[in-house]
Amino acid sequence: SSDLSVSAVAASCGQAEVAAKTAFLLGPQAGRDFLEHGGFAGLLIDDQGHRLVAGAMPLTEQRASS
């Protein structure tokens, strides 16, 4: 689906790129399933803003300036 955005988290940039492209080609639901079964974390967003989360996305701690 051309109106899909996919981001993936993996051990290396190369793995993340391949995982995200594969999930993109599979489409939203199958892409999320692929990421989860492959042990990746990811976020898929369609053209209407619907979000599908795969796995546990890592969080970044943000600190306010004092």
pLDDT exceeds 70 at position 62: no
Of the candidates 40, 12, 44, the one whose C-alpha atom is nearest the C-alpha of residue 28 is 44
For residue range 20-61, list pLDDT tens digits in order: 999 999 999 999 999 999 999 999 999 999 999 999 876 555
Residue 25 CB coordination number (10 Å): 13
Q: Which two tokens stand for residue 11?
A: 């051990």
- Quote the pLDDT of residue 59: 57
**N-terminal to C-terminal alpha carbon distance within the chain:** 45
Q: Which two tokens stand for residue 18?
A: 């391949």
pLDDT exceeds 80 at position 19: yes
- Quote the pLDDT of residue 25: 96
pLDDT exceeds 60 at position 65: no
pLDDT exceeds 70 at position 1: no
